[in-house]
Amino acid sequence: GEVRFSEVIRLVFQVLSIMLSKFQSSDLPKDSHQVCASAAVGALEACLGRSLRPVEDARASRFYATLLRCLNTAIMEGRGCHVPLLNKLAILLPRFFLYGVHSTSVTAAPSTGVGKAEVKYWDTRPSQSVLKVEGSQNAVAVKSAYVPPHVRLNKAKAVRPLASNSEDQRSRPREGRDSGWRESEESSSETDTSDMENGTASGGTFPADLHRSSRVRTAALNTIQAIVRSDVKAVQPHICSFLPLNSPLQQHPRSPSLVTVLLYDPHAKVRSCAATAIGLLVDGPAQRAYLGVAEVRDTASKALVRGFTPLSVQLGQMLVALHAGLFRTIETEPNFGVLVCAIRSLALLLSAAPYERLPVTLIPQAVSGIRSSLQKLLNFTNGTASASENYHAAALSCLAAAFSTKLPSPALAQALMRDTRPVSSGGSARVPTLVHELLQWASAGSPVVRVEALAALRGAFKTYPQIVAVCGSLASAFLNALSLPSFPSAVQVR
């Protein structure tokens, strides 16, 4: 049969990716990684051209995924080969954040007729029916029956509006060198799906991914992670290209960011990659020093020069927007693994942000959100014990980061002293409720969870000494009751 030129190019980049990953740098020609990275970026530029969004079909999805994987391999194996290309990458990679999301269809779970089914609906998230029986506080997820791939494909075509065909024709790029793809090569009938991506053998409901567009978004996010891990200082001038400056909670922003992917991507793996990338962008001493100049000015008292926004103000707006996106993720994220990644990213953000020049409500909101999440998932038993341990350890580590800021937060101190509980049922002495909960976490549970709880207590007692005066005797009683010699020798209290 006829072999398309685009398929030949894709296979060439696939071979290059394998060679870069299998052979050592000393066995390859000089500057081979930089040449491959430049070729991949040039091919992406030629394909995208001036089109508003990349072509979304099976062949284009395979092509983009192969190019991004080759670029990712070249960046990981070659030292600094991507630095001359960062200006182009900061423009190209965000264009794949929403690749294929708008054409994703969702299969709704059927109602069972028992109790009332409340569906938490997001336009692009996979639908999930939560069954709440009257008189019960526990929610049970209702899964739909297994649907074969060909039936899902036919349903997706039937549900798609007829008017979208004309819109797709208008949104497709014109023929020529600017687009890189001809309309004759686009085929909406070609699919590259599998049972594990559109459903599970046990009948779970997953979002339809007709052209496996999620692999393109995952490859783009992995490329960002490779760029940050390779040279985080080189990414600093382009950090605002990946993180939001304003309106982080919009589902269809004009310039999508990693927070948009984290909140609204239909695939948990992609959301997890976005959360990891956010954590890498704010982690490390170099990033702390760079973000240390951020500030949020009062526009009423200090008017900015028209047409110019200082870097410190841009970073301040970015940090506030990033807090809002992570807070919303912790509040609404249904996937357990993504929730853990988001909490870890929030902990890294709490350690890097200069809160003395940011709104005073950020730290109390972070503590309140983590505490609400802990209370909501207090008796979490769905999954392995290690998954529950990872979640509780990440949440307590985030609380430790909130308590261990450079300067104490007066708003957090007031919130702690305002929410108190009696030490005993008949006594009059009262202690902060959160401190009492941390003491309970430190006295029971796995060693990892207990260590993180002790770290949170250490940060609270060190940064907010007024807590020690209120609950010093209770803390001493709890800590004396700890069986510290029973800990494994490898686990040490930080």
Tell me the domain boundaries of the chain: 231-359
Please give the Cα distance from 32 to 41 (Å, whole number): 14
DSSP string, 227-256: HHHH-HHHHGGGHHHHS-SS-TT-SS-SS-
Vertex 53: Cα angle to 48 and 56 (nearest 5) = 90
Do residues 367 and 402 touch, judged by C-beta distance below 8 A? yes
| pLDDT of amino acid 193 | 38
Please give the Cα distance from 328 to 15 (Å, whole number): 41
Count of CA atoms in the C-beta half-sphere (13 A) of 186: 16
Count of CA atoms in the C-beta half-sphere (13 A) of 175: 5
Helices (H), 30-148: 32-48, 58-77, 86-92
Helices (H), 231-361: 232-235, 239-242, 258-264, 268-281, 285-291, 311-332, 336-352
| pLDDT of amino acid 305 | 54
- The length of the chain in residues reads 494
Q: At what angle do helices 362-376 and 311-332 cross, to 10 degrees?
A: 20
Residue 263, CA distances (Å) to 130, 256, 312, 455 in order:
19, 11, 26, 30
| pLDDT of amino acid 324 | 94
DSSP string, 186-232: --TT-----HHHHB-TT--B----TT-THHHHHHHHHHHHHHHHH-H
Please give the Cα distance from 82 to 230 (Å, whole number): 9
| pLDDT of amino acid 196 | 38
| pLDDT of amino acid 206 | 47
Pairing of strands 129-132, 139-142: antiparallel
Residues of the chain with pLDDT under 70: 1-3, 52, 103-147, 150-210, 299-307, 378-385, 423-429, 472-494
Q: What is the pLDDT of residues 105-119, one digit of tens each?
A: 433 333 333 332 332
Supply the DSSP symbol for 335: -
